[in-house]
Structure 1
């Protein structure tokens, strides 16, 4: 089974040091793996049959939210580093650009440069930037660039705004609060809500060719999309099914970090196998279980091959 993995993180130590970044307690444990693009990473890919990784910034939200001039400089350096890695290993890597979202006009320019000049296959944006979501009119240049370039935006989860974190988790043990706000729950609710904001505020009407990718088996959207359609649609005066159809027409979903059958089957039933993609979330998740899960999943062989590589090759225009 050929495998293309879509949410595989990298963060060269040179960029981390130059930007003076604090990756946080969890990500800091993986700094060596994030920095490695020529050694152990390739061995892991070979050992588990990963043909290609699409590289993206680990914890890239810390770059996109920097003050504009710093964000532009460091995002460009990161994109150049990933371009160099793809040049050294053209059969093994592609990359999503990291964008300086604190300056959307500069972000659009960097998006165009990374795709047109360096062959990046899309961009990864880590949630809201300093409180600004992708439905805000200030972000229009970035969304328009994605349409013109014909590449998707991977919407990665991010922490909710500080006021939300304080209200929901401020009275908890710091480690517990951090994981509830992040990968244990809050990330996924935040990202699913972000997609619903975009769908209900007309983003996909203004940008009919825009395509998103979200990870983690759909960020709770497959399970709750019908309920959202039923409750939100009448408020907007939309016909039944309009919200659900808008989301399923513009969103692709990766298996990133999920290795149990019920979420997979739910996602196949709601979004369809044609909109699903394989991912490991390397190095934050283990490659072996992710590959074994897809190989053994109770789905048809045609659907397995679509998820494993064919959908990614089509969406990202990979040869």
Structure 2
């Protein structure tokens, strides 16, 4: 098993996002049938899971587009959990990107006061994707701080029509990951901010499967390409991304991921607790069968390069 887990979620008790009404609204909004996967997170439960799976440290994040107050509350409470267990947890601070000024304020607060290991962004905020100019100042601030940014999918606009009655994590989450990254690439976000290291959840969703299509068709005259990006420039931006292995440990997920970014840009992720222990166990088994021992060691090495302070705390 891998020692470092980049993809784990915590819902601190007492926060708005942990309330029963919020849970009910989430079920209705995201199309879950009967229950919410991974509900009932706790520190003790997470530690038990990690011990059973041989995981030394998890980076905690909140998979949602939080507003400024929610983000500050979650960041502070989760920073307290990390302070109590610094060798077992790390903080990926949430940012209220829908309010760019508050997002910049939160980047500075999380870095200077909470000593975050990195940040987490949702794939869209009220239907606005990464290529939108209103995010430019926040991306510039993230670039300046040079901490990794974990990208987790959320529902796209018009999900009530796109979801076909099935929950977002089944199909639309992987789609929305590709949607926002393609938008960022064509907008030049990654070209302007060279220190921005994005770590995409779920092996990049459907993005690796689309890599050739994007690189070959992107420069065609019928594709809006205001910067005139070439196939090589598109490929280079895709190659610079990092991908986690959550719910993507088998050949169908890992082989195209390695083809797009290389084995040195993969990191291990479980998606605990939403993925559930059965899926996590199956994904880990698939990963061991897909990557040789050297490849599996590369996952830990990549994590240590991206998050050196967290890796050091874990010993």
What TM-score bracket applies, with the shorter chain setting the length?
0.7 to 0.9
Q: Does 1:276 align with 2:280?
A: no
SS at match of 1:55: strand
**In structure 1, C-alpha distance between the alignment counterparts of 2:140 and 2:17, rounded to whole Å:** 32
Using structure 1 for the length normalisation, give the TM-score: 0.86
**In structure 2, C-alpha distance between the alignment counterparts of 1:155 and 1:283, rounded to whole Å:** 17
The alpha-carbon deviation at position 46 of structure 1 amounts to: 0.4
Match of 1:68? Answer: none
Match of 1:21? Answer: 22
Report 1:1-319 matches (<5 A). Answer: 2-16=2-16, 21-22=22-23, 24-25=26-27, 26=32, 28=36, 30-33=38-41, 36-37=42-43, 39-57=44-62, 59-61=63-65, 64=66, 71-162=67-158, 165-169=159-163, 172=164, 177-179=165-167, 182-235=168-221, 236=225, 237-249=228-240, 251-285=241-275, 286=277, 287-294=280-287, 296-307=288-299, 309-318=300-309, 319=312
Higher helix share: 1
Count of aligned pairs: 294
Using structure 2 for the length normalisation, give the TM-score: 0.87
Q: Deviations for 1:269-288, whole angstroms, at most 9, x for unmatched residues?
A: 22101100000000012243
SS at match of 2:83: helix
RMSD: 2.0
Given that 1:13 and 1:31 are in contact with CA atoms closer than 8 Å, whether structure 2 keeps it comes out as no
**In structure 1, C-alpha distance between the alignment counterparts of 2:85 and 2:283, rounded to whole Å:** 23
Q: Unaligned regions of 5+ residues in structure 2, if any? A: none
Given that 2:203 and 2:248 are in contact with CA atoms closer than 8 Å, whether structure 1 keeps it comes out as yes
The alpha-carbon deviation at position 114 of structure 1 amounts to: 0.8
**In structure 1, C-alpha distance between the alignment counterparts of 2:36 and 2:231, rounded to whole Å:** 46
The alpha-carbon deviation at position 75 of structure 1 amounts to: 1.1
Q: Unaligned regions of 5+ residues in structure 1, if any? A: 65-70
The alpha-carbon deviation at position 13 of structure 1 amounts to: 2.5
